[in-house]
């Protein structure tokens, strides 16, 4: 009898041990859940963990995310405006290559033909389209900005679900909100949409978890883009009073910069709710979360200090953005990485981590940064990064060297036609630049000291790289060999009245 009891006990122990080990192996081998929180117009100095100078900006949840993962100090967006940066995130390709180098914008001076043909084309391969064959559930919530025509809607790009408004919200007005392809709410206000996005995100996580399916969620926040209308829940009394008495001037609000911290605090709260839900579901160690800004701040709200420039231009203030990644047990906590990374890197990194393969029928410009996430310096960092503004190649970077290229007003895309700061740091950057400017970002990231005369050999080397880029990706007056054109639009998206080939620095 004693022997029988020992045998039964041993059998039970072995069974429990094997079951536990099997569960551990399955957990380690399980495809990760992935969430990309893509926020709007958050500048380099707009979070506490990035040293925000404005004391009203408090971001404890985002700060904790950085403490539990890796915070990047040299993360580069592929564009300084919304739509192209989103296309590059989803495809891993430069905007000129992916066919969305500019923005769907009712204010663009190009007419209905432009609006019908500008968008992310279905011939592009996106992250959800890579993941769906592997069994992933995929959802997008928030700002699409991939095109106004139905052929560009999120469900055309591999998402199982979409809920949100296609573009930005008007000041004092409302937007229609879509469920899939259909409008389900005719008029939703900016300050009311964000809770809905968070609820949808958490609901989708729970639903996928219940079905034991890995998920990919692209949470594209409208915060903290204009119209800078705060939710009263997150505003101080002083901020709320400023907001209530703001005069509207065109598409801007006076005092938008004064109430901006309330929008950042609200964003932080929503990020905290998503992270809390991940922990409550018990999927913390199998969920990778990225937090990335699409581009620099839309001045006068927000700050890119100590960088020069902002949204709409190719200085660091327009392209160098906050970026954080968190994955407990995989990404070591408390990292601060100065690796040069790009939003285009999200695509190949997710491909690698999910067990998929990169396509062999197209060029992917991003690189796999898995080793960077894990705290190991990657050997596949970008040799060259190109800074396009619309169709125009305005700058490029090699290591710490950054070269701003000559330009003329005729080469400027429509959103860069004005600059409210005389030195060219404003919204449009330089309207005219007669010679190249060279900066050493390793010495100063503020791009103030021109070293072009001191290092002419560096200038010439980078100019030769620029010529290669023009031949491949195009420029304002050159069609590139691998530049995707806008569907059936035959006009010029930089300047409908431009004169071709008048800038000697841009000729082939």
Within a domain: 260:
yes
3-state secondary structure of 473: helix
**Is pLDDT above 60 for 499?**
no
**Do 326 and 418 have their domain in common?**
no
Burial class (CB in 10 A: 0-12, 13-18, 19+), 240: middle
Distance CA 13, CA 84 (A): 57
Q: Which of 352, 373, 394 is the last residue of a domain?
A: 373
Burial class (CB in 10 A: 0-12, 13-18, 19+), 111: exposed
**Do 232 and 333 have their domain in common?**
yes
Give the domain CATH number at 274.
3.40.720.10
Residue tagged active-site, from 82, 157, 225, 319: 82
> What is the reported pLDDT for 469?
96
**Do 275 and 242 have their domain in common?**
yes
Q: How confident is the model at residue 492 (pLDDT cuts 50, 70, 90)?
A: low
Distance CA 284, CA 330 (A): 11
Mean pLDDT is lowest, of 31-35, 91-95, 108-112, for: 108-112
117-127: average pLDDT: 93
Q: Which of 373, 398, 421 is the last residue of a domain?
A: 373
> What is the reported pLDDT for 85?
97
**Do 192 and 160 have their domain in common?**
yes
**Do 150 and 233 have their domain in common?**
yes
Could you report the per-residue pLDDT of 141-166, keeping only the tens digit for each? 999 999 998 999 999 999 999 999 99
Give the domain CATH number at 496.
3.30.1120.10
Q: How confident is the model at residue 338 (pLDDT cuts 50, 70, 90)?
A: very high
**Do 449 and 348 have their domain in common?**
no
**Do 82 and 153 have their domain in common?**
yes
Q: Which is more confident, 493 or 342?
A: 342
Give the tokens for residue 446: 């503020």
Domain residue limits at 439: 385-506
**Do 231 and 147 have their domain in common?**
yes
> What is the reported pLDDT for 491?
61
73-78: average pLDDT: 97
> What is the reported pLDDT for 20?
39
DSSP output for 406-465: PB-GGG--GGGS--SSTTTTSTT--S-BSS-EEEETTT-TT--S--TTT-HHHHHHHHHH
465 is catalytic: no
**Do 313 and 404 have their domain in common?**
no
**Is pLDDT above 90 for 198?**
yes
> What is the reported pLDDT for 379?
65
Within a domain: 6:
no
**Do 408 and 334 have their domain in common?**
no
**Do 193 and 299 have their domain in common?**
yes
CA atoms within 13 A on the CB side of 255: 15
Q: How confident is the model at residue 113 (pLDDT cuts 50, 70, 90)?
A: confident
289-300: average pLDDT: 95
Q: What percent of the chain has pLDDT over 70?
A: 85
> What is the reported pLDDT for 109?
64
> What is the reported pLDDT for 52?
96
β partners of residue 433? 407
Distance CA 406, CA 465 (A): 14
Within a domain: 218:
yes
Residue tagged active-site, from 24, 49, 145, 465: 145
> What is the reported pLDDT for 502?
31
Q: Which of 345, 373, 401 is the last residue of a domain?
A: 373
Q: What is the pTM of this model?
A: 0.90
49 is catalytic: no
């Amino acid at each position: 009898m004693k022997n029988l009891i020992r045998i039964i006990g041993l059998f039970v122990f072995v069974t429990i041990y094997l079951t536990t080990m099997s569960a551990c192996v399955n957990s380690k081998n399980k495809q990760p859940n992935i969430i990309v929180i893509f926020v709007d117009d958050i500048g380099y100095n707009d979070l506490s963990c990035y040293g925000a100078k404005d004391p009203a900006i408090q971001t404890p949840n985002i700060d904790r995310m950085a403490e539990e993962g890796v915070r990047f100090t040299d993360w580069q967006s592929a564009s300084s405006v919304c739509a192209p940066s989103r296309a590059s995130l989803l495809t891993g390709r430069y905007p000129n290559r992916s066919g969305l180098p500019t923005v769907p914008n009712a204010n663009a001076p190009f007419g209905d033909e432009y609006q019908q043909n500008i968008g992310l084309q279905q011939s592009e391969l996106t992250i959800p389209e890579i993941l769906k064959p592997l069994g992933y559930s995929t959802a997008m919530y928030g700002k699409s900005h991939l095109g106004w025509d139905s052929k560009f809607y999120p469900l055309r790009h591999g998402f199982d679900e979409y809920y949100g408004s296609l573009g930005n919200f008007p000041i004092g007005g409302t937007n229609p909100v879509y469920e899939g392809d259909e409008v389900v709410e005719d008029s939703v206000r900016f300050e009311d949409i964000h809770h809905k996005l968070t609820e949808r995100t958490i609901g989708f996580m729970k639903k996928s978890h219940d079905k034991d399916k890995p998920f990919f969620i692209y949470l594209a926040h409208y915060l903290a883009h204009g119209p800078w209308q705060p939710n009263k829940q997150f505003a101080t009394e002083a901020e709320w009073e400023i907001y209530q008495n703001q005069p509207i001037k065109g598409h801007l609000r006076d005092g938008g910069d004064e109430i901006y911290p309330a929008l950042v605090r609200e964003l932080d709260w929503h990020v905290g709710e998503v992270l809390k839900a991940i922990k409550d579901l018990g999927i913390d160690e199998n969920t990778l979360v990225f937090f990335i800004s699409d581009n620099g701040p839309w001045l006068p709200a927000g700050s890119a200090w100590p960088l020069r420039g902002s949204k709409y231009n190719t200085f660091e203030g327009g392209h160098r953005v906050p970026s954080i990644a968190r994955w407990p047990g995989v990404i070591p906590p408390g990292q601060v990485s100065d690796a040069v990374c790009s939003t285009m890197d999200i695509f190949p990194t997710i491909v690698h981590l999910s067990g998929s393969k990169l396509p062999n029928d197209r060029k992917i410009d991003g690189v796999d940064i898995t080793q960077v996430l894990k705290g190991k310096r990657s050997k596949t960092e970008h040799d060259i990064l190109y800074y396009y503004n619309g169709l125009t190649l305005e700058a490029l970077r090699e290591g710490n060297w950054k070269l701003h290229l000559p330009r003329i007003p005729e080469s400027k895309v429509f959103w860069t036609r004005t600059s409210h700061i005389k030195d060219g740091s404003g919204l449009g950057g330089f309207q005219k630049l007669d010679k190249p400017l060279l900066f050493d970002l390793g010495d100063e990231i503020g791009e103030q000291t021109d070293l072009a005369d001191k290092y002419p050999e560096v200038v010439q080397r980078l100019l030769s790289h620029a010529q290669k880029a023009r031949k491949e990706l195009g420029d304002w007056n050159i069609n590139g060999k691998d530049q995707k054109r806008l569907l059936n639009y035959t006009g010029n998206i930089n300047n409908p009245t431009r004169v071709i080939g008048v800038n000697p620095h841009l000729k082939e």
